[in-house]
Amino acid sequence: MISMPLSKVCVVISFVFVISSAQAVPMPPVPLEPIYFEPPVEVATDEIYQQSCAQLDSAIRYLQPYRYSYKPEFHKDGANQIATTLIVFDSVPIVHGLLGFAYLGYSALVEEKEQRRMIEVEQKVALFQQVKAEKHCFE
């Protein structure tokens, strides 16, 4: 008979016990939606097809200012620099660090909202340009 130290026997027995008691964990009732934003696909309606080429150009010209973000980039935004400084040089741990993290979270949320808005506007402009091409407005 092979003799093993008592500690090894305890480890082997506990391992066998854990393996035998392992069960499948059921999935939580979380809606299975995509994690990332998927913009809705723009479809041309009969109203859009009835517009003249000048009206389509006017619609594109109206959407032009909304194609761009007017929020400064992360490194150029002074408020983000202040928030990062508050986090790094945290003299009062509860107040300044949390305020910095809260503002950075808010800034990221605003950035995401801006990106979604710009994508939707780009899709509308592309739709109007497609209708213009189908109507041969470029000729």
Which pairs with CB-CB distance under 8 Å and at least 24 residues apart come from 82-89? 83/107
Domain contains 28: no
**Tens digits of residue pLDDT in 38-71:** 777 788 888 989 999 999 999 999 999 999 888 8
Domain contains 23: no
| Amino acid occupying residue 137 | C
Residue 94: domain span: 41-134
Domain contains 65: yes
Domain contains 61: yes
Mean pLDDT by 10 residues, the chain (139 residues): 62 61 60 66 87 92 90 86 82 69 87 89 93 85
Domain contains 74: yes
Please tell me the pTM assigned to this model.
0.63
How far apart, in whole angstroms, are the C-alpha atoms of residue 4 and residue 44? 77
| Predicted pLDDT of residue 123 | 92
Domain contains 19: no
